[in-house]
A and B are shown apart, each in its own frame.
Chain A
Amino acid sequence: MKLNCDIDIKHLTRVEGHGNIRIRIENGKVAEAQWEVVETPRFFEAMLVGKHYENAPYICGRICGICSIGHTLASIRAVENGFAITPSEQTAKLRLLLKHMETLQSHILHIYFLAAPDFLGVGSVLPLTESHPEVVQQALRLKLLANDMCDEVGGRRLHPTRTVVGGFTMLPDRYRLNQFRQRLRASLADLLASAKLFSTFDLPSFSRETEFVSLKGEGEGIYPFIGGDLVSSDGVVKAEYDYLAMTNEYMAEYSTSKLSKLSRKSMAVGALARLNNNFNELHPQAKEISEDLGLLAVNHNPYMNNVAQLVECVHVVLDSIVLIDELLSSDWQEERQPVIPQAGKGIAAVEVPRGILYHCLEFDDEGSIQRADCVIPTSQNHANIMYDIEDLARWCVAQGKNDRETELLAQMLVRAYDPCISCSVH
């Protein structure tokens, strides 16, 4: 058995933002196991103070380049909830479609560009262009489809332009939507090929029991993405406006990001949490693929988040086809409804690729923002990552892993969460 080990990774690569991993094993005992967040804070919550409500989605989108659509939609929902505006059915569908394509884009980016190189034994996606050209082509095709659709519905693939409080500035072209429907159908072949590739990956068998937090699905086939009740796998259920009861933020010296907990010392959010809490709400075909890949609810292996993301890709593609059919079955309605500000507080919970995201905005009667609060998925995951690393270090000792293996497993563990660190600090 390996008794000593010293791992010190500064600025872990192939993750979004800046974090460090430190593991020290002495005489077979874990002396130190740390996940450190060193990202610089940007103070978005302060930036918004004094700003007119229409700035919120525009500025908050800039919290994160990868999930800018999710942030934009969360801010819009917070404003609309604050002003008691209910989006039209058409707007709701278009937003969900846009959200789905962000999920697809982000998950594919993570699965192929950030996670897969570890499983295929290379340092980045670049060598894969030589060794596995078909895999890279699949990934690029899927990402291109998702991004093209974000352009069509949201106006731009990142930092969208058409999404505003009250609806959209402009509607997508119906002819092109129909073309996208064909491309979505065709993309299923690429996703099935991805599932096949995944089934050859050797996922570490490590697991640690934790509490999963997500939005709650609303019946069969309605996997949750935008708004609704909040739920945990330990049985906590809260209304959307009661988000603070789910987040319980605190600070710790090893992190410039805030941390969260609920019923236990840590909790997890993200694709695995959503899937664990809403397995029956998945599209049947997505559920089948999940079962084939050995992912059944409730699964406590953090590396399974990679698989959960792939399963969600299948779900969002299938659901997008349904959404497009519904949208095309009726004529376009008015794209934007009038907005009348009112004083009060607006709260939104939205599932973004990395987990549940909350935006809370307080307004005066002219719609000027008095206070803002954003709770980011990755910050809710930080404590869980940290305890996972501690347990993983012990597991590696027990399994007799060498330094190099332990180091790689720790990196893969953090990457599996697909952390968005600059987002978590914001």
Chain B
Amino acid sequence: MSIQGSLGTFLGVEMAKPKVGFFELSSCEGCQLQLLNNEATLLEFLSLLEVVYFREGMTEKSNDYDIAFVEGSITRDDEIERLKEIRHNAKIVVALGSCACFGGVNQLKNRFHDLEWVKKEVYGDYPISTRKAAPIADFIDIDLEIYGCPVKKEEVERIVSRLVLGKAVTHPQYPVCMECKANENICLFELGEPCLGPVTRAGCDSWCPSNRLGCWGCRGPAPAANFKQLKEIVKRYNIPVERLLDRLECFGGFQNIVTDMRGSGGKGENET
């Protein structure tokens, strides 16, 4: 991945100033908003980049960009074309947030296998078009994923700075529990609440458990996740399997394990 652009300096190092665009498909636009939620470092951060497309924030538009940040999932046919065009224009495509990486909350509608029922529940007989919610990687090659619902701004800044400097971007392999322990939180299981910290990919600095909310797994599975152990913990603390499944199926990252658990004993919620 090499980016050519006008040259600037960062901490005295000469570097390329890449042209970037921000795009949204079906989403709450919260991940983009997180980037603006950087008041303290916003101007400095923006000076690393040349923003050429950001519909939510600016009128000027250009299709000449090096890095495309795509937020949201695919939930309607016309979005596929738009996504392909973005891929065509960009050197690097970054999936920004859980909607783009896994389908996010949007994929919760997929658990009703009958999309006609879903449409009818919300719009009655009024004709409306939709499709199964899907992550963007189902339709194009992507270069990088930034997890989270929402993404963590510090992490986005770190990743973007590395991209701009041409350094490799890596994600933690260990689960949220490691960060949670380092933050010396009381374990939520001790308080009778389920938590997906043992199986979820770290990098958010145990955002939720540090606020005494169990992890809902928004960043998807950690490569080193031990699901067997999680099931044992849940059993030991007498937590209903449905509460665990609510969390596992919320953002789409744990699709396989949900299918597996629903098939083997978990009460099905998905019949309509």
Contacts and interface: CB of A to CB of B under 8 A. Distances in A.
A43 B130 contact: yes
B211 A124 contact: no
B106 interface: yes
B42 A256 contact: no
Per CB-CB distance, the 9 closest pairs between chain A and chain B, nearest first, are A65-B30, A124-B58, A155-B211, A123-B59, A144-B39, A169-B212, A47-B108, A161-B211, A65-B28
25 contacts: A11-B55, A13-B55, A14-B55, A41-B128, A42-B26, A46-B122, A47-B108, A50-B269, A51-B246, A59-B108, A63-B28, A64-B29, A65-B27, A113-B57, A114-B57, A123-B59, A126-B51, A143-B39, A155-B213, A156-B211, A158-B33, A161-B207, A169-B211, A170-B212, A422-B24
A423 B109 CA distance: 17
Interface in B176-228: 207-208, 211-213, 216
Contacts of A50: 269-270
B262 to A, nearest CB: 12
Given A58-B216, A256-B128, A41 B211 contact: no
Contacts of A100: none
A62 interface: yes
A140 interface: yes
Contact of A51 (B25, B27, B32, B269): B269
Given A124-B58, A157-B37, 16 more contacts: A14-B58, A42-B105, A42-B133, A51-B246, A58-B216, A62-B149, A65-B27, A65-B29, A65-B30, A65-B150, A124-B54, A126-B46, A140-B43, A143-B39, A155-B208, A161-B211
A46 B112 contact: yes
B93 to A, nearest CB: 20
B255 to A, nearest CB: 15
B30 A68 contact: yes
B59 A124 contact: yes
Interface string A238-282: 000000000000010000100000000000000000000000000
B213 A158 contact: no
Contacts of B122: 41, 43, 45-46
Contacts of A125: 57-58
A337 interface: no
B29 A123 contact: no
A59 B105 contact: yes
Nearest to A66: B33
B269 to A, nearest CB: 4
A424 to B, nearest CB: 12
Given A40-B25, A42-B26, A159 B150 contact: yes
A131 interface: no
Interface in B129-176: 130, 133, 149-150
Q: How large is the interface on B (under 10, 10 to 19, 20 to 34, 35 or more residues)?
A: 35 or more
Contacts of B13: none
A402 B250 CA distance: 51
Specify which of A42, A113, A144 lies most central, judged by the most chain B CB atoms within 10 Å of its CB.
A42
A15 to B, nearest CB: 7
Contacts of A68: 28, 30
Interface in B1-46: 24-34, 36-37, 39-40, 42-43, 46
Contacts of A13: 55-56, 58-59, 61
Interface in A108-123: 109, 113-114, 117, 123
B26 A40 contact: yes
Interface in B51-71: 51, 54-61
B120 to A, nearest CB: 9
B86 to A, nearest CB: 14
Given A62-B104, A256-B128, A164 B30 contact: no
B207 A42 contact: no
Nearest to A114: B57
Contacts of A109: 36
B42 A140 contact: yes
Nearest to B131: A40
B121 A65 contact: no
Given A52-B246, A66-B33, A43 B28 contact: no
Given A17-B29, A52-B243, A159-B150, A59 B207 contact: no
Nearest to A250: B126
A124 B60 contact: yes
A422 B27 contact: yes
A16 B33 CA distance: 10
